[in-house]
Amino acid sequence: MYVVRDLSKSRSLSAMLKSNYGVILVTTTLHFMGRQLGAPMLSRYAEVLGARPEQIGLLYLASASSYSISQPLGGYFADRYGRKKIIVALTTAHAIAYLMYVMATDWRHLLVALATIGFICMYFPALSAITADSIPPEMRGTCYALLRLTPRLAGMASLAISSYLIAKYGLEWGIRIGYIIAFSLMLVNASIRGFLLKETYEGRKDLRLSDMIVGGVKGVKKLGWTMFWLVICASFISLAVGLKGAYYVLYAVHIVGVKDHEWPLIVLLGTSLSLLMSMISGRVADKLGRVNAILMACAPYYIGLSLFLLSRSSPMVAIGYSLVVSSIAMVDPCFSALEADLTPKGMRGEVMAMMNLAWFLPTAVGALIGGHLYSREPHLPFIIGGLSMGLAFIFTGLFIREPLRREE
């Protein structure tokens, strides 16, 4: 086993931006720019292609399920063979898979596309691990917040472009053109990672796949109760996201009367507030602790959710939605920092895979349940999702304790 050191040991942000962290920041930004050209309108795109709310839930179930299956394999490859190879190969495959969205003529084609891309995302544990490898412990809150901020700042331009494309070419063709652009951006992403990303971990040649399947569970157990409760809280948050995520746009368009081309602009406003709140949360996480930063998100989350459900106009929808998503943005870098704080480098592939399962497997369940709830009563996915978030906040305050020594 051999670990390759790079500029991640530099304690200045400017030096890190010239190392692996800078490469990850740029390529993650390109990925997010492409994603924002289509993902916010995916539920409406599925409707145009013939899907009902229950079938939209099935789409997200297929995506999250295939993603969840792929994560233990991804963690195994990351710890067995190193991070870079799997990242570069599957980023390229991810780019090609975007063409499936472009060519879809039925919602079932989207089902295949989402399931395929979910499996291709096998490289996410490797990307999470190489990111954690490349950031010094005392800068994790700030660096993870920046890693969340910069892609979303660039993604704001994509949202404006998406709104323009939908207004000019209509919903269906506006989204198809957006995914063609996303394909191009992901190819550039793969090229940059191939040429500039440095390996941080050569791997454990004695690691077996059978070890990896149970390795994440054992890793969480070995790392103690705080990691256990981190997994539980992540599961409740992802359940809440799954219940509501696909149905914000449907509720806004069908219940409140928001226009299709207005929704990307509402998402843009939410992204703007998320950027600000994410950076504040990252600084609080580094100065006052990760748990305090997470609990700060509670009040704006419930204020925003209430405003969204009581909305009768586009501005009210925009304010409520923005508060909700910015609250999630406050939580995300804190959880990432805690994961890195608790996990030794040699265990990160398998533990990150387990955490990715905790984030996405409940999302699959939530998406399926959310579709049935929305068909019965459009308010229900949001109400039950709010209860799930409440449990996450309560358990965070009661059970998550920050380590006395943060892992390198």
pLDDT, tens digit (0-9, with 9 covering 90-100), for 279-297: 788 778 777 778 888 888 8
Rg over CA atoms, the chain: 20
pLDDT more than 90, % of the chain: 47
pLDDT for res 110: 96
Give the model confidence (pLDDT) of 39-76 as tens digits: 999 999 999 999 999 999 999 889 888 887 887 788 77
Tally of CA atoms within 13 A in the half-sphere of 52 that contains its CB = 6
Looking at 5-9, 53-57, 115-119, which range is the least confident one?
A: 5-9
Better-scored residue on pLDDT, 264 or 403: 264
Helices (H), 53-139: 53-81, 84-103, 107-120, 124-133
pLDDT for res 4: 45
Highest mean pLDDT among 78-82, 148-152, 220-224, 403-407 belongs to: 148-152
pLDDT at 200 over 70: yes
CB atoms within 10 A of CB 287: 11
pLDDT for res 103: 95
* CA distance from start to end of the chain: 17
- Give the residue-averaged pLDDT of 76-81: 77
pLDDT for res 8: 44
pLDDT at 226 over 60: yes
Catalogue all structural domains in the chain, each as residue range(s) with its CATH number.
Answer: 11-196+208-399 (1.20.1250.20)
Contact 256, 393 (CB under 8 A): no
- Give the residue-averaged pLDDT of 349-354: 66
Highest mean pLDDT among 39-53, 81-95, 126-140 belongs to: 39-53
pTM summary value:
0.80
pLDDT at 5 over 50: no
